[in-house]
Structure 1
Amino acid sequence: MSLLRVTGLSKSFGGLTAVDGVSFDLAAGQLLALLGPNGAGKSTCFNMVNGQLRPSAGSIQLDGHELVGMRPRDIWRLGVGRTFQIAATFNSMTVLENVQMALVSYERKLFGLWKPARSWHADEAFSLLEQVGMAADANRSCGVLAYGDVKRVELAIALANRPKLLLMDEPTAGMAPKERNALMALTRQLVTERNIGVLFTEHSMDVVFAYADRMIVLARGKLIAEGDADTIRNDPRVQEVYFGTGKTFQPRAALNHAAAPTNQGALQ
């Protein structure tokens, strides 16, 4: 059974159709990459799954629960975590306090003036930091961390609601190659240990081909290809629209009669 099932998802802004009838599934324990050139509809699709945008049409189901119409915080409480392209942490707080605040929010704890927030969920917060390799920095301010370490803290925060589904928006943006691989290897480990489904967007193709189990590719709001790394590398629509010039979008029938593109090196 699919953890996430998206069916006929569409979003229009006035006369502009940003996402047009997109459907896909994601299983628990799987990393699914959402790819496409700028303007393909990735962010719009992502934000509809998260509840930040309401679809014009379509269905988004998590474990059989319909998410369309739900508020982002309610979707979060159902078990959908998220990280952002620009890491979002409180620089004035310690690493531990950042994770504690996420846990306090999830547990809906009301605390009195006689018991400060820093006393809540310290052990659980420290455990999450251990899982992402940041326990040694628990008492440091987030404002002094290297960017790669901030992304790890953000991942710990995203795990605070015990997610079934993790949405990761450009998780390795701004990171050096070594940091990118370390973060994605950690994500893969957590996916396996926790049986989480991950939907992520990413521009670094080395990361995508190394870590994604499956990929879906959008162009001009439409789903044009899906499959594993070999399938995506060899799909003529992907080569032309995403990895090629980015100027041509044709239905499969038209491409079947066209000459094969010559820029396959971009996919190797």
Structure 2
Amino acid sequence: MSEVLLQASGLRLAFGGVKAADGIDLGVMKGEFLAIIGPNGAGKTTFINMTTGYLRPNAGTITYDGRRITGMSPRAIVKLGIARSFQLPQLFVEHTVEQNIALAVASRDGIWSPLTPLLRPRFRDEARDLLGRFGLSAIADTRADALNEGARKLADIAMAVALKPRLLLMDEPTSGVAASEKMEVVETLARVLRDAAVTAVFVEHDMDVVERFADRVAVWSQGRIAALGPPTEVLNDPAVQRDVIGIERHA
């Protein structure tokens, strides 16, 4: 049986009268790719925010590799080996792609100066290596604000991978990416992350991406997990097709 890397137990969080998490219990297995699907407002991003320290649950616990991380700061959680990417890429738009990655590499070492990482060869060398793995070498000297959405997404996730996480949480990695580029983007992500033995949790609305790349699928509904299992089982569930997949395809 696979080893549990992340365990959420009894997570509850409400915003006023809205229950964003209503008793979430979920174990993420080491080495797996877990997709989270569900309609807007179901609590998917809230789960990522609680796991990465941006929100604190009202009740429940989150443990990572056997250590309780509930309520820890985002920076402390990153140091333990958990990284994330956002629905909207968080890039330094005035810098080149290589410079963005170099800044991320330096931050892993506790260096936050905006200039030092750009002057030290070891940071830039590691950045170039990572860009090669993501297939981004050709745009290394391109400013981030000149990238198309697919390249922006890859560069944003490359910055997260530069932190050398064991667990990466991605919020809609294909959001805004042209349909013709989606599969290529996700294939690149899957190859890099599996080669680096990174466990991945990703929120996704494209069911073709989920079916092709997820090892398991968790369905969120009104702050709860409505279904959990292999993609073929979950995506063929009549209730999921009616309540989730129908919504996604209509959208």
**With structure 2 as the length reference, what TM-score do the two structures score?**
0.91
Structure 1: which amino acid aligns with 2:231?
A: A
The Cα of 1:158 is off from its aligned counterpart by 0.7
Deviations 1:92-135 (A, max 9, x none): 10111101111111101377x9x843123111111111111111
Structure 2: which amino acid aligns with 1:213?
A: D
Q: Which has the larger radius of gyration?
A: 1
Unaligned runs of 5+ in 2: none
Deviations 1:208-233 (A, max 9, x none): 11111100001111111001112112
Distance in 2 (alpha carbons) for counterparts of 1:94 and 1:168 = 22
Q: Give identity over the alignment, percent.
A: 38
Q: Is the 8 A contact 1:10 1:19 kept in 2?
A: yes
Distance in 1 (alpha carbons) for counterparts of 2:235 and 2:105 = 41
Partner of 1:118: 118
Structure 1: which amino acid aligns with 2:245?
A: F
Partner of 2:5: 3
Partner of 2:220: 218
> Which of 106, 130, 133 is matched with 2:132 structurally?
130
The Cα of 1:241 is off from its aligned counterpart by 2.4
> Which of 50, 54, 57 is matched with 1:52 structurally?
54
Distance in 1 (alpha carbons) for counterparts of 2:143 and 2:247 = 45
Structure 1: which amino acid aligns with 2:87?
A: Q
Matches within 5 A, 1:189-268: 189-244=191-246
Structure 1: which amino acid aligns with 2:139?
A: D
> Which of 102, 105, 124 is matched with 2:104 structurally?
102
The Cα of 1:86 is off from its aligned counterpart by 1.2
Structure 1: which amino acid aligns with 2:72?
A: M
Partner of 1:151: 153
**With structure 1 as the length reference, what TM-score do the two structures score?**
0.86
Distance in 1 (alpha carbons) for counterparts of 2:25 and 2:238 = 20
Distance in 2 (alpha carbons) for counterparts of 1:236 and 1:20 = 23
Unaligned runs of 5+ in 1: 247-265
Partner of 1:261: none
Partner of 2:33: 31
Q: Provide the secondary structure at the position in 2 that maps to 1:125.
A: helix
**Cα RMSD for the two superposed structures:** 2.0
Deviations 1:19-73 (A, max 9, x none): 1111111122211011111111111111111110001111111111211010011
Distance in 2 (alpha carbons) for counterparts of 1:188 and 1:43 = 21
Q: Is the 8 A contact 1:32 1:215 kept in 2?
A: yes
Structure 1: which amino acid aligns with 2:119?
A: S
The Cα of 1:244 is off from its aligned counterpart by 4.4
Aligned residues: 245
Structure 2: which amino acid aligns with 1:119?
A: L
